Chains A and B, each alone.
Chain A
Amino acid sequence: MEIIFENVSLSFPDKTIFSSLNINLSPGKIIQVVGENGSGKSTFLNLAAHLIRPTSGKVMAFCGKKELNGEAYRKKIAMLSPNMQLYDNLTAKENLKFFSKLRGESLDCNEIAKLWERVGLREENVRHKYAGKLSTGMSQRVKFAVFLAAKADVWILDEPSANLDDKGRSMIIKETKKATQNGALALWATNDERERNAADEIIDLSNIDRVS
């Protein structure tokens, strides 16, 4: 999957976030989106996910030469963001199964167990526990399990290591590197210096210019 920002501008009545942004995001890379608070990192990711529309210009997604839009594109993406929450009154397992089924993926017990293992959770600790009772770190890991279950080609991660310990941060970097080696495109918004080392490219929204 390749994402192209073509002359993208986004403004609100009181503020211009982007003006004539031209960026090509190629597959097989981890692309870090950095910038000071309020520079538009999350907005950039939402534009890439087609969750918001630019004021002018286009955000195009290509699978080979074919442009994807709407549901066809959304089925290719997975997203992890602080704005996305699990259902508090469903268990971790119910949340995982629910969001996977919405994607058309029916997970069996073995697949669920493997996903818990990948995100560093013990099944007995989360199986029957309501998401609302999980610690913020565990909740983030469950959200990442939902993310992994989507088997997406475009990974959109907004501060994915927030609330995670060092092991959790390493796990996310490892999984993201593995996915990009298999051809996925990973967009990762962060200001964490330790995570910048994992990036193949950096987009600095503080000065908009693209820095390799």
Chain B
Amino acid sequence: MKSLICQTLTVFRKETVAAARFKGAWLTMLMFSLTALSLTSFVFKGTATDSAILSAIYWIIIFFSAMTSVDRLFMEEEFSGTIQMLKVYGGAIPILFGKMLYGFLLLLILSIIITFLFVLLFDGNIPLENAVFFFANLILGVFGLSAAGAFLAALSASAKVKSGLFAVLMLPVMLPVLLPVTEVTTKIFEGVAFGVSALIPALLYDLVLMLASSLLFDYIWYDDL
């Protein structure tokens, strides 16, 4: 367990150092989200609009921001030839978890920036009294998106036919987490009272995803099993 954590953190640190030096991936995410936010703000002109629409816009921006970066997590390793080094010298699970952790923290930071800009641009339209629920829901949703994205990216990189596989699998895999988190966000925007139980579907999705990844990733990563 100790070595799994240590190796996971080693992969996470490598990803962070590489991202700090090659800014392309996270700058693309940031620019995409800023463009989408500006556009929606101009279209709605800051006027009050339906909570469900606001919630959908919010999660669409986070979803597509995630998609601009998570597919690179393994594809770049495949194209640059480092994937075989990882396969020989690393274990499957720490590599997946390290990349998931990096993808999660990157997307979480971006989502927090998006949230503050969203509140600022739609000032007065979003009651955020229930901040703890909002951020708990955000963390669960962002974790689900980044973890599922990393898993699908690994699957696509290992597949013999890569073209379009990530995009095709994305919808059925990510919809189960996007639907509950969008629903909770809508309720928060509406100011409707709800219990912790509303967060359970996203939490379950994240737990099942982690469990499935731990059990299946060895079979995806290595051809000999």
Contacts and interface: CB of A to CB of B under 8 A. Distances in A.
A50 B84 CA distance: 12
B80 A79 contact: no
A210 interface: no
A77 B88 contact: yes
A102 B86 contact: yes
Interface of B: 3, 6-7, 10-11, 14, 17-18, 21-22, 80-82, 84-92, 94-95, 218, 222-225
Interface of A: 49-53, 59, 69-71, 74, 77-79, 81, 83-90, 94, 98-99, 101-104, 146, 150
10 contacts: A69-B225, A71-B92, A79-B88, A81-B84, A84-B85, A85-B81, A87-B80, A90-B18, A102-B89, A103-B90
Contact of A101 (B7, B21, B86, B218): B7
User: Does more than half of chain A's interface fall in helix, strand or loop, or is it mixed?
Assistant: loop
Nearest to A149: B89
- 6 closest residue pairs by CB, A with B: A85-B81, A102-B90, A50-B224, A101-B10, A99-B89, A79-B88
Contact of B22 (A81, A89, A102): A89
Contact of A87 (B14, B95, B224, B225): B14
Contacts of B90: 99, 102-103
A118 to B, nearest CB: 18
A51 B81 contact: no
A51 B21 contact: no
A99 B7 contact: no
